[in-house]
Amino acid sequence: MLYEAEEVLGLIPQREPVVMVSRLIDASGNRCHTGLSVTADNYFIEDDGLMAETGLIEHIAQSASAFAGHRYRMQSLPAPIGYIGEVRKFHCYRRPAIGDELQTEIIFEAEAEGVTLMSATTSCNGEAVADTKMKIFVEPVR
C-alpha cells in the first residue's frame, strides 16, 4: 500500500464531499492500482442504495489523478489539476453497492503536451464492474 485515507488527499485536488478514491495500492511504470471503499455517505449513492454509474467514472478519473499526483510527488512537484476531456467506450456492468471494495487498474497509454490517454478497468472481488478509456487534460501548476 502506497497511500491510504487522508494521505490520498495529498495526491488529488478534489475534497469532500466528492472524494472518490480511498487508496493508491501500487504504481509502477505506466500502470497503477487504486481502491474505493463504497460507504453509505458516498456522494453518488442513489435512493436504492447503489452507486450511480457516473460515480464510477469519477472514481476512475480521480484514480488517474492520484496516479499522476504520485508521479509528480516523486519529482517533488505539487499535484496538478486534471480535467476529463473525453470518455470513450465506457461500459458499466453493474452498479456498486454499499460495502463493496472496488479495485481499479489504470494504464497511461500515451502522454504528450498536457494530454494523457488512459484505459481503466474497475472490478469487485474479481468481477468486472466497469471499463473505459479517457482523455485527461492536465493543467500545469503555476
Could you tell me the smallest distance in angstroms from the CB atom of residue 70 to other proteins? 19
Q: Is residue 53 at the binding interface for other proteins, with CB under 8 A as the rule?
A: yes
C-beta of residue 120 within 8 angstroms of C-beta of residue 104: yes
Residues 89-128 interacting with other proteins (rule: CB under 8 A): 89-92, 95
How far is 104 from 124, CA to CA, in rounded Å?
Answer: 9
How far is 128 from 3, CA to CA, in rounded Å?
Answer: 24
How far is 102 from 60, CA to CA, in rounded Å?
Answer: 11
Q: Is residue 38 at the binding interface for other proteins, with CB under 8 A as the rule?
A: no
Q: Is residue 132 at the binding interface for other proteins, with CB under 8 A as the rule?
A: yes
3-class SS of residue 61 = helix
Q: Is residue 63 at the binding interface for other proteins, with CB under 8 A as the rule?
A: no
CB atoms within 10 A of CB 38: 22
Cis peptide bond prior to 13, omega within 30° of 0? no
* Count of residues that bind other proteins according to CB under 8 A: 30
Could you tell me the smallest distance in angstroms from the CB atom of residue 58 to other proteins? 4
Minimum CB distance to other proteins smaller for 1 or for 5: 5
Residues that bind other proteins (CB under 8 A): 13-19, 43-44, 46, 52-55, 57-58, 61, 81, 83-92, 95, 132
